[in-house]
A and B are shown apart, each in its own frame.
Chain A
Amino acid sequence: AQTVTQSQPEMSVQEAETVTLSCTYDTSESDYYLFWYKQPPSRQMILVIRQEAYKQQNATENRFSVNFQKAAKSFSLKISDSQLGDAAMYFCAYRSAWKTSYDKVIFGPGTSLSVIP
């Protein structure tokens, strides 16, 4: 079974600085998707960024970028120029690309990010 681990329960960053959130996962599959979701205090879970395992190029979405290391099964999120609105719970998630189990989106325990003004 696949598992997702986030080893940092809490992180903090100074406004305008850069922070990296860690995520590792375990799978025997070769084709899958990885996601970072953000859950602010409003509780709405929002997709931040997505990575397809077959793509070697790291995904980037404005101030958010990932460092995807497939061999190491590592998928970290870098937030540049941190803003107060970035304060939230961040979840790393895994989804198999196989049709029989594609519907299982497995989440890590989350990292609570605080942004210091």
Chain B
Amino acid sequence: ETGVTQTPRHLVMGMTNKKSLKCEQHLGHNAMYWYKQSAKKPLELMFVYNFKEQTENNSVPSRFSPECPNSSHLFLHLHTLQPEDSALYLCASSQAAGASLTEAFFGQGTRLTVV
């Protein structure tokens, strides 16, 4: 248990559906991330939030829309996805620079299948 919780664990959605992924951490971290993990590909950083402000958008298509209402919660809103968006979506959090712990803590991921 890393202290980062993602829901749902599995999600199957049609290309016309709208769904949201949720991530929650109560570790006191200031930064939260969304990563996409596809088969046979490296982890892809999608979005980064620092102190609730988006500081990184790694050329992610607009059909993925992140939301960070506070430092403990992060959402990824999904709409009109494509089959190639099927992947494992991982949320992570970390402390800010200068802190003693520099590593990211990960959730268990949401396995997304777009049909």
Residues of A within 8 A of B (CB): 33, 35, 37, 42-47, 50, 52, 91, 95, 97-99, 102-110
Contact = CB atoms under 8 A, between A and B. Distances in A.
Given A43-B108, A91-B43, A105 B33 contact: yes
Nearest to B41: A109
Interface of B: 2, 31, 33, 35, 41-43, 45, 48, 50, 55-56, 88, 90, 92, 94, 96-98, 102-109, 111
B103 A35 contact: yes
Given A50-B103, A105-B104, A107-B43, A44 B88 contact: no
Contacts of B104: 95, 105
A92 B105 CA distance: 15
Most buried by B among A43, A91, A97: A43
A57 to B, nearest CB: 17
B110 to A, nearest CB: 10
B98 to A, nearest CB: 7
A2 to B, nearest CB: 12
A102 B56 contact: no
A35 B98 CA distance: 17
